[in-house]
Amino acid sequence: MKVRAFAKINLCLDVLRRKENGYHEVEMVMTNVDIFDVLEIKELEEKKILLKSYNTDLAMDETNLIYKAIVLLQNETGKDFGVEVLLEKNIPMEAGMAGGSADAAATLKAVNELFKLGVSDERLLELGASLGADIPFCITGGTVLARGIGEKLRHLSPLPKMKLLIVKPKAGLSTKTVYESLDIEGLNKAGFKHKDVREMVSVIESDEADKTKIEKIAKRLDNILEIPSIKLLPLISDIKQKMLENNCLGALMSGSGTAIFGIYENDEDMQKTKETAQNQGYVETILGRKLYTPNINSDNFLTKEAAQRAAINAPLQGSAAEIIKLAMIAVDKVLPKDKALMLLQVHDELVFEVDESATDQIGQLIQNAMQNVLTDTAATLGWQVDFRVPLVVEIGVGDNWQEAH
């Protein structure tokens, strides 16, 4: 038996509070997208669970949610059976697209059917919730309003067909890390204004024309988890900005990240970066630096595909490189050399050695300089950059690089 496990994106996600058991109470709207894993499930004569995948990065053992889902069904029904699952992994990992949850949900449904276990749909949802908050949604699919920890579902009207571009940076963030970095109590005490998820629900349930509905959905995209995720990985903000520069109606990080999706009105805007590279032989960064793609028109399909992917990625990572270089210029101008030294750059970080007595003062100087590089430093050097997403800089202090994190 072959089954598909579909990914999801969050059109909006709000965290209301942290519960006593450590879970977070959320309100969010989720919907499936046409990216899916494929699971081939078959019975084994030997009474064992065997998981296989061509993706060597996956743990195909008892820690995998697929394995846990099978064991859960065995315990629920009291039946011992042998099963093999071959997983074709297409949903990116650590993307906020419920890849693991989708696989577990597909396994619960398929194994229940294959072995005629007779577990009801309602009970499957309960079993799924015991494995993960997203799994009940992945079992039912569609478009839903989710509450509680994500297990209380209200199904909404089907969405109009939307054109989406999804970008997944190589870097990933675990859900645990993102939620631990979200100071929801602090935000609430400071009067943080939560977006009303009901506005998104109202748009989805409306009788408006598809084009109008899509535009309104794009304007109401919101995810509170972008606050900690962008601090942990500023590249997320850069990717959103690049999408908006290419006539994206709206862009958002899905779930706890790090995948970012953009909603487009037409294929032309969505493919603009790729086409520019094909026509010109290069793409440009945020400061106009040309990045050449000599293989973009290659007759070799694989070579051409690789060049097209590079053409989409280069403006994002190239722009990020420019921003950190501007930051080094900006900081050098304000850094008191008798009390601080800039030691090195590590990806999107700068490392300093600072007089301990002046840590707070110098930290503030550095933070201000780095956060204003596109409005101040770039403009001073002759670049006018329309960057609509604020740069967020976090300062860490410690006796060594590890402690500063």
**By three-state DSSP, how is residue 278 classified?**
helix
- Any idea which residue has 């969505």 for tokens? 270
Rounded CA-CA distance 204/97 in Å is: 20
348: nearest Cα among 326, 381, 369: 326
DSSP state for residue 358 in the 8-state scheme = G
Backbone angles phi, psi at 46, to 5 degrees: -75, 140
Catalytic machinery residues: 8, 134
Q: What is the dihedral of CA 147, 138, 233, 319, to 10 degrees?
A: -120
Contact between residue 349 and residue 321 where contact means Cβ atoms under 8 Å apart = no
**By three-state DSSP, how is residue 351 classified?**
strand
Written as six digits, the tokens of 176 are: 């645990």
Rounded CA-CA distance 350/405 in Å is: 12
Contact between residue 51 and residue 88 where contact means Cβ atoms under 8 Å apart = no
Contact between residue 33 and residue 9 where contact means Cβ atoms under 8 Å apart = yes
